[in-house]
Amino acid sequence: MRDREEHLLEALENLFRTRHECSCTVFSECGLSDLTVRQVAYLKIIDEQGDITFSRLAEITRNSKPTITEMINKFVRMECVYRERCPEDGRVLYIRLTDKGQKIAKAEQAALRRMIERMMDSLDDQEQELLVRILQKVR
């Protein structure tokens, strides 16, 4: 039993290492290998929310408006976001993702897809089906 657990630990460490490599590749392609996990999380929130204001982002992330403004200014310099005035109320500013920002926000999913491709390339059809069945059982 102990040997199985050790083998599983080694296999999972290898899987996580592969995922990390895939994530680093995606971020490098964006020219932003030094982003923090928190920054990526904020970009994901902006992507998921659609029409999001500074106030709403501050509320969701539990940060002050000045903190959000500072972060958005940094993202603007990194060419990840831009500001857009609300057509109905010019006082309201929306935070929008650039193509680069969208790519970063979706990097986690892209990294998982690359990892899956690598896994599937190393397995035959029968092994792929078995892997899917096993992973579906894990809760």
Could you tell me how far CA 89 lies from the centroid of its own chain? 31
CA dihedral in degrees (117, 119, 123, 127; nearest 10)? Answer: -110
- Per-residue CA distances from 17 to 11, 22, 115, 119 (Å): 10, 9, 10, 13
Regarding pTM above 0.95, the answer is no
Q: Do the Cβ atoms of 130 and 122 come closer than 8 Å?
A: no
CA distances from 52 to 33, 41, 70, 88, 115 (A): 26, 15, 16, 15, 31
List the pLDDT tens digit at each of the 139 positions of the chain.
Answer: 678 888 888 888 888 888 777 777 777 776 665 677 788 889 999 999 988 999 999 999 999 999 999 999 999 998 999 999 988 888 899 999 999 898 888 887 888 888 888 888 988 999 888 888 888 888 8
